[in-house]
């Protein structure tokens, strides 16, 4: 009887563990991608839709069904001059009265995105980093098939409107945001995390950090991370998908 009871307890524990794991996996799968499968998270939150001030926190977890753990402190950040607007891809999270991003609105795009390559004006020792050389341009012209891509003036010519990245001081260091825009709807383009210049109080729609925080973020994000840009009140709409407020 003792052996059977032990076997029953072991079986019950195994079943409970399996249920907990499947529950966690189901919860992860109900979260929007790319957050559901992420193991590293860069969370940028602002106190409202119209402020240009934000906070950046880093998190990581062992698996998609595990809980988020802090991976650093809080870093101040600046975002769009006019605050935040929901990106076209995440407009379903907006409530009445919250704007949807379009080109030229000077708002950072609320939503969740994969982070791409680190970049900078100087060569990097990290494999895969993008060196911004003469002619590197990010196209923000909705009339161009190259809209929202980093390319070269040699390929697109000089008539296409875009950011001549090698000429912009705050691109001395940065990270590309894999921003899923909509060219027909002019859904916004050329979104980065970049260097905050000394007197800057806002951006044209990107996230900007002081240099030490940005360089540390480049290291954190290099193995792969996702970026969430959210007004604090909207973060609650994603429930357990995000770390608890702190």
Instruction: Convert the pLDDT of each residue in 182-232 to its tens digit.
Output: 999 999 999 999 999 999 999 999 999 999 999 999 999 988 999 999 999
**Higher confidence at residue 107 or residue 14?**
107
Report which secondary-structure segment, H or E, holds 41: strand 40-46
Closest CA to 99 of 199, 236, 234, 246: 234
CB burial class (10 A; 0-12, 13-18, 19+) of residue 30? exposed
- Give residue 16's pLDDT: 35
Q: Between β-strands 136-139 and 150-152, what pairing exists: parallel, antiparallel or unpaired?
A: antiparallel
Segment among 54-58, 194-198, 235-239 with least mean pLDDT: 235-239
Q: Between β-strands 40-46 and 150-152, what pairing exists: parallel, antiparallel or unpaired?
A: unpaired
What does the pLDDT look like over 115-170, one tens digit per residue?
A: 999 999 999 888 889 999 999 999 999 999 999 999 999 999 999 999 999 999 99
Q: What is the pTM of this model?
A: 0.87
Are 77 and 57 spatial neighbours (Cβ–Cβ below 8 Å)?
Answer: no
Domain parsing of the chain, residue ranges: 31-237
- Give residue 245's pLDDT: 78
Q: What ranges in 88-230 are assigned the alpha helix state H?
A: 153-156, 211-221
CA distance 67 to 63: 8
Instruction: With a cut of 80, say whether residue 19 has pLDDT above it.
Output: no
Tell me which DSSP letter residue 90 carries.
Answer: G
Report which secondary-structure segment, H or E, holds 117: strand 108-120
Segments of 81-129 assigned E as strands: 84-86, 108-120
Report which secondary-structure segment, H or E, holds 7: helix 2-30
Quote the tokens at residue 23: 């529950």
- Give residue 125's pLDDT: 85
Q: Between β-strands 130-131 and 207-209, what pairing exists: parallel, antiparallel or unpaired?
A: unpaired
- Give residue 126's pLDDT: 85
The answer to whether domain 31-237 has CATH 2.40.50.100 is: no
């Amino acid at each position: 009887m003792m052996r059977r009871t032990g076997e029953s307890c072991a079986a019950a524990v195994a079943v409970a563990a399996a249920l907990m794991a499947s529950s966690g996996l189901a919860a992860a799968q109900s979260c929007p991608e790319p957050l559901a499968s992420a193991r590293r998270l860069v969370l940028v939150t602002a106190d409202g839709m119209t402020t240009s001030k934000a906070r950046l926190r880093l998190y990581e977890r062992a698996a998609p069904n595990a809980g988020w753990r802090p991976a650093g402190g809080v870093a101040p950040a600046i975002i769009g001059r006019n605050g935040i607007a929901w990106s076209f891809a995440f407009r379903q999270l907006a409530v009445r009265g919250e704007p949807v991003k379009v080109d030229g609105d000077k708002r950072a795009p609320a939503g969740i995105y994969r982070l791409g390559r680190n970049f900078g004006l100087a060569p990097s020792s990290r494999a895969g980093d993008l060196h911004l050389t003469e002619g590197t341009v990010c196209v923000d012209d909705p009339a161009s098939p190259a809209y929202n891509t980093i390319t070269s003036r040699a390929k697109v010519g000089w008539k296409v409107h875009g950011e001549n990245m090698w000429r912009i001081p705050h691109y001395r260091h940065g990270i590309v945001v894999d921003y899923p825009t909509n060219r027909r709807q002019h859904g916004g383009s050329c979104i980065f995390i970049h260097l905050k210049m000394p007197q800057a109080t806002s951006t044209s729609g990107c996230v900007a950090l002081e240099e030490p925080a940005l360089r540390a973020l480049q290291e954190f994000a290099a193995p792969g991370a996702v970026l969430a840009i959210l007004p604090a009140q909207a973060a609650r709409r994603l429930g357990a998908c995000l770390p608890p407020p702190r």
